[in-house]
Amino acid sequence: MRKRNLRFVGILALAHIAAAGFMVALLYQIGTVTFARIPLAVRVVMCAVAAVVGIALDFRAVKRGTFSVGLHRQTAKTLSNGTGDTPGWVIALLWGLDTGLVWTTFRMSCASWVLLLSSLLNVAPQWCGLAYGVFFGVPLIIGTLTGDPSAIGRPSRYMLTRVTQGGGISVLLLLPLGVLWSHFLVT
């Protein structure tokens, strides 16, 4: 059972990394045409404000024991109806591609939304989507190896959800500092 779960999660993680890398790079390229003329300082402040709002929303979600702001799932759960009609790797691939688009299903942390905004404003480099995907996939694989799969998706019962949300808040706290450091102190 655990080996099958690990194979499923491995395919999901790889598809997520590929889709997240593509989505962030695409937004970055769109941003070079649309938002690159806005002064860098203004774009950095916009990202910092988004991070502060994200921190507040994520703290609220943790306090309430719910998910953060986001759209509901688009990949149909009925694909895995238990009849065996759809191979497991197809479900994992579709789910990974869907979550890798970032905006379609991610509700753990507002860090995802801030990443999309930062890439669109050309503040975050276009390779950040790959890093985002890796930092999604590795904890998911670790959680599959060590956690209770029956509790996944239940934020009040699943400790990994709280850890992930705390990690998102940490990223949101570090983002404005890192952006300020990289753009104003290094250059």
Q: Could you report the per-residue pLDDT of 75-132, keeping only the tens digit for each?
A: 666 666 566 677 778 888 888 888 888 776 556 677 788 889 999 999 888 888 888 8
Question: Where does 78-127 show beta strands of DSSP type E?
Answer: none
Between 19-23, 36-40, 183-187, the lowest mean confidence (pLDDT) is in: 183-187
Read off the tokens for 125.
């480099």
Residue 150, pLDDT score: 56
How far is it, in rounded angstroms, from Cα 21 to Cα 41? 25
More confident site: 24 or 101: 24
Note the maximum CA span of the chain: 58
Contact 58, 158 (CB under 8 A): no
Question: pLDDT class for 39, splitting at 50, 70, 90?
Answer: very high
Residue among 99, 72, 88 nearest 14 (CA): 99
Q: Which two tokens stand for residue 56?
A: 């507040």
